[in-house]
Structure 1
Amino acid sequence: MNTNNPSSAPGLRLGVALGFVLLALAPFVVYPLFLIKIICFALFAAAFNLLIGYAGLLSFGHAALFGGGSYLAAHALKRWGVSPEVALLIGTLFAAALGLLIGALAVRRQGIYFAMITLALSQMVYFLFLQAPFTGGEDGIQSVPQGKMFGLINLENQLTLYYTVAAIATGALFLLWRIIHSPFGNILCAIRDNEARTVSLGYRPTRYKLAVFVMSAALAGLAGSLKALSFQLASLVDVTWQMSGEVILMTLLGGLGTFFGPLVGAALVVCMQSFLSATIIPTPVIIGVTFVACVLSFRKGVFGQIKHWLKQRKRQAGAPH
């Protein structure tokens, strides 16, 4: 047995099984729309983590991809009258195309220059959506119809909508898992760790960076499309630079470069936002303090630190006495 294959770990299989059980039972305990919000942002954070955690590329403009998918899916549903599955495909493909454009310009630079280019292009997309006639300006696209997926699944039922979104997100995360644990994912990690050595081995990092940027963009667009479909709304909030900062926070809080870390981080941030919105406490301040505390105490993120502790305990248990 290949012990280096993460899919062969019994603990992972147990964790995945428990995750499916929780997904199935959660809507009977928690409001389904709240769970859908967590799922959408978890997928968004996982898409962003593919870029920064495995390729080492820090994007300050991922909100353009998330919001772009949201706007195109909402417009396709409301104006073109397409079915939900087609709208999700349109939103995802638009985000991928936008990611190809942004990535082709950004991957030629490294470090802070790459980040600044993505931020600048994201702001251009924001002003485009602000002024474009089909986006509704500051009002956004509201009252987006949900309809029936494949003509059979009635998404107007919240429980049905939840299970549909959960199934799509699970499929996307499985695809992400396969990408990370493939030869392509290994090359991405090699580029992240030592790009010069990767070049000496005959690889062309620019091509791999552009490919992973497009993949990350497509998954971010799918997350935005699912959000627009679920909440029947596409707004400028999804395209702002603050949204880009929020997904960075989710990823770092959960654990950079870990598969489940961004999912945990997204759940923590969404839960904090929901809880604090009902109080007089300023939400950004508390989230900022929490982030600083976690960075100082858990430098690997919440999930990353737990994973590190478990590895240490396993080594100590296996060490000869």
Structure 2
Amino acid sequence: MADTAALDAAPIAASRPEGRDDKALHRKVFAGLAIALALAPLVLYPVFLMKVLCFALFALAFNLLLGYGGLLSFGHAAYFGMASYVSAYAAKHWGLTPELAILSGTATAALLGLVFGALAIRRQGIYFSMITLALAQMVFFFSLQAKFTGGEDGIQAVPRGNLFGAISIADDRVLYGLVAVVFFGGMLLIYRIIHSPFGQVLKAIRDNEPRAVSLGYRVNQYKLAVFVLSATLAGLAGATKALVFQLASLTDVHWSMSGEVVLMTLVGGMGTVFGPIAGALVIVTMETYLAPFGAWVTVIQGAVFVLCVLLFREGIVGLFARILKKPL
């Protein structure tokens, strides 16, 4: 009986709850991030910081699906971009307040994730990835043709409005406070998901799906749940981004956006809690400060990716985690 119990616990042995020291370390990291978020606008341009935070949340959402669910999606731009469109349209044409515009975009991404996820999880491996890419391309061509998206022009001059109808977020520093709260809240939610019983089962499915099935877990339901959660949080990032730049365009739903979030996750460290944040910071910084190089930015990003794969496959944060022998 003891051997059987030990055998049944095998799938989640690799994802057992962390020790007190690990949790204490994570609390310190969270505290450090909170301090950094508070002080960053004093040093750096708020719009740049908001872009980093939006894409960091996007990468965190994608990492939840890939790093902990074991599902590689090539179509996450669909949820990011469609939420951006709906948020921008709701703010500009429906006159909704910022929080309602963001919620409407996030809800749209959740619904889209539910429909697309129900179709995609029927297949595994590369077939799953190709289905997500095909569905995302459908969203792209829909966005190109639909009237409410503005086609190639997109939705421009999106009003930022007043938060809760009282607080103007026209000023970048005030809006930064909202974006920082959204990012930090999303990060804490993802952390809680990862370290919940649901998250432990996800890791078991990722590591050994047949074993999880044999133990009686309804694998497809868990896959669909994490797919919808990831799409929803990606939509939250996209909806917030639309208000930051006051723009929703085809770039948000293009396949290259899906590739970019994969790059951020892998460079930062797939399957780590804080890796996608570091990856987003690196990639967005490169795009911003290397912009004078034009199309060569893509070549430089490719070179950085190759170096990461060759020198430290665990990513930036994964490398530090290996050195410290602590999960990050």
Q: Which of the five TM-score ranges fits, normalised by the shorter chain?
A: over 0.9
Q: Distance in 2 between matches of 1:5 and 1:199?
A: 28
Task: Give yes or no for the alignment of 1:13 onto 2:18.
Answer: no
Task: Write out aligned runs for 1:1-321 (5 A).
Answer: 4-5=18-19, 9-279=23-293, 282-311=296-325
The corresponding residue for 2:11 is: none
Q: Distance in 2 between matches of 1:106 and 1:41?
A: 24
Q: Distance in 2 between matches of 1:164 and 1:97?
A: 24
Deviation at 1:19, TM superposition (A): 1.1
Deviation at 1:221, TM superposition (A): 0.3
Q: Distance in 1 between matches of 2:106 and 2:68?
A: 21
The corresponding residue for 1:316 is: none
Instruction: Give the 3-state SS of the residue equivalent to 1:197 in structure 2.
Output: helix
Structure 1 residues 3 and 236: CA distance shift in structure 2, 3 A: closer
Instruction: Give the 3-state SS of the residue equivalent to 2:138 in structure 1.
Output: helix
Deviation at 1:280, TM superposition (A): 5.6
Q: Distance in 2 between matches of 1:247 and 1:227?
A: 14
Q: Distance in 2 between matches of 1:8 and 1:153?
A: 39
TM, length-normalised to structure 2: 0.92
Deviation at 1:6, TM superposition (A): 6.4
Query: Does the aligned pair in 1 maintain the 2:17–2:195 contact within 8 Å?
Result: no
The one-letter amino acid of 1:191's match is I
- Comparing 13-22 with 284-293, greater Cα deviation is found at 13-22
Q: Distance in 1 between matches of 2:162 and 2:301?
A: 38
Query: Does the aligned pair in 1 maintain the 2:114–2:228 contact within 8 Å?
Result: yes
Structure 1 residues 68 and 280: CA distance shift in structure 2, 3 A: closer
The one-letter amino acid of 2:182's match is I
Query: Does the aligned pair in 2 maintain the 1:3–1:9 contact within 8 Å?
Result: no
Q: Distance in 2 between matches of 1:280 and 1:181?
A: 42
Query: Does the aligned pair in 2 maintain the 1:7–1:13 contact within 8 Å?
Result: no
Q: Distance in 1 between matches of 2:206 and 2:185?
A: 26
Q: Distance in 2 between matches of 1:5 and 1:69?
A: 38
Q: Distance in 2 between matches of 1:43 and 1:112?
A: 25
Aligned residues: 311
Structure 1 residues 5 and 95: CA distance shift in structure 2, 3 A: farther
Identity of aligned residues (%): 59
Query: Does the aligned pair in 2 maintain the 1:6–1:12 contact within 8 Å?
Result: no
- Structure 2 residue runs of 5 or longer lacking an equivalent are 1-15
Q: Distance in 2 between matches of 1:221 and 1:75?
A: 14
Structure 1 residues 281 and 234: CA distance shift in structure 2, 3 A: closer
Q: Distance in 1 between matches of 2:117 and 2:59?
A: 18
The one-letter amino acid of 1:61's match is G
Deviation at 1:172, TM superposition (A): 1.2
TM, length-normalised to structure 1: 0.94
Instruction: Give the 3-state SS of the residue equivalent to 2:148 in structure 1.
Output: helix
Q: Distance in 2 between matches of 1:5 and 1:152?
A: 44
Deviation at 1:193, TM superposition (A): 0.4
Deviation at 1:127, TM superposition (A): 0.2
CA RMSD of aligned residues (A): 1.4
